[in-house]
Amino acid sequence: MVDHDRKPHLAPDLNQFRGYLRLLAEIELGRRLRAKVDPSDIVQQSLLEAHKDLAALKGQTEPEVVGWLRTILARNLLNTARDFGAQKRDIRRERALADRLEQSSQCLEKFLAIDQTSPSQQVVRNEQAEKLAAALAQLPDDQRTAVIQKHFHGESLATIAAEMDRSTLAIAGLLKRGLKKLRTLMDESETEAEGS
């Protein structure tokens, strides 16, 4: 007997998280890998896998869906790193990346200054993440790296300087120019959206 009162299970629109996932991939891909692979390709692969394995999604809330997508993205980021670095699978590294993606997600929300839960607010957040991902992609490589390391990974100027083989003063300059350019690009994007 069919239960007609039971509501059908509605699949979430996973594409609404594309910009958010792209931004996380951009943040987590190292400089060396960004030169070899486009973050959009990893996101596309992750979304395809998610669509194929939608039955494995246990939750229905946005945080549950996003967490599940982050897990798939983390696996694909590690596979990409392993493919280019010929590293063996390491569960500890996978857990560390999953933790870093969670931390980057929290930093992203703080960076965008969002705490939104309604459907319309979620759309705004996803649009902001999409715009930020596009703006980050337009930054010169050194500025993008400095901004990501400082504002999404929380590294000190000294640590970034050592990683990039630059002085802390040079890193401070990269950050200042990078953030200024990001603001300009985000403002231009906002103006274009209002004009259309």
- CATH code where residue 186 lies: 1.10.10.10
In a domain, 4, yes or no: no
* Listed residues 59, 81, 116: the one ending a domain: 116
39: containing domain: 14-116
Residue 167's pLDDT band (cuts 50, 70, 90) = very high
Contacts of 169 (CB under 8 A, 6+ apart): none
Q: Are residues 50 and 87 in the same domain?
A: yes
* CA atoms of 20 and 32, how far apart (whole Å): 22
The three-class DSSP label of residue 71 is helix
pLDDT above 50: residue 4: no
Q: Are residues 91 and 177 in the same domain?
A: no
* Listed residues 81, 116, 151: the one ending a domain: 116
Per residue in 98-127, pLDDT (tens digit) is 566 566 555 555 555 545 555 555 556 667
More confident residue, 158 or 189: 158
Domain count, the chain: 2
pLDDT value of residue 169: 96
Identity of the amino acid at 113: A
Which range has highest mean pLDDT (40-54, 65-79, 120-134, 135-149)? 40-54
In a domain, 2, yes or no: no
Q: Are residues 99 and 169 in the same domain?
A: no
Per residue in 67-97, pLDDT (tens digit) is 888 889 888 888 887 777 645 445 555 555 5
In a domain, 112, yes or no: yes
Per residue in 18-39, pLDDT (tens digit) is 888 888 888 887 766 777 888 8
Residue 130's pLDDT band (cuts 50, 70, 90) = confident
Contact 14, 69 (CB under 8 A): yes
In a domain, 60, yes or no: yes
Q: Are residues 49 and 109 in the same domain?
A: yes
Q: Are residues 111 and 145 in the same domain?
A: no
Q: Are residues 95 and 175 in the same domain?
A: no
Q: Are residues 103 and 188 in the same domain?
A: no
Q: Are residues 22 and 102 in the same domain?
A: yes
Contacts of 18 (CB under 8 A, 6+ apart): 43, 47, 130
* CA atoms of 92 and 3, how far apart (whole Å): 45
Identity of the amino acid at 116: Q
In a domain, 3, yes or no: no
Residue 112 tokens, joined? 């965008």
Q: Are residues 95 and 57 in the same domain?
A: yes
In a domain, 130, yes or no: no
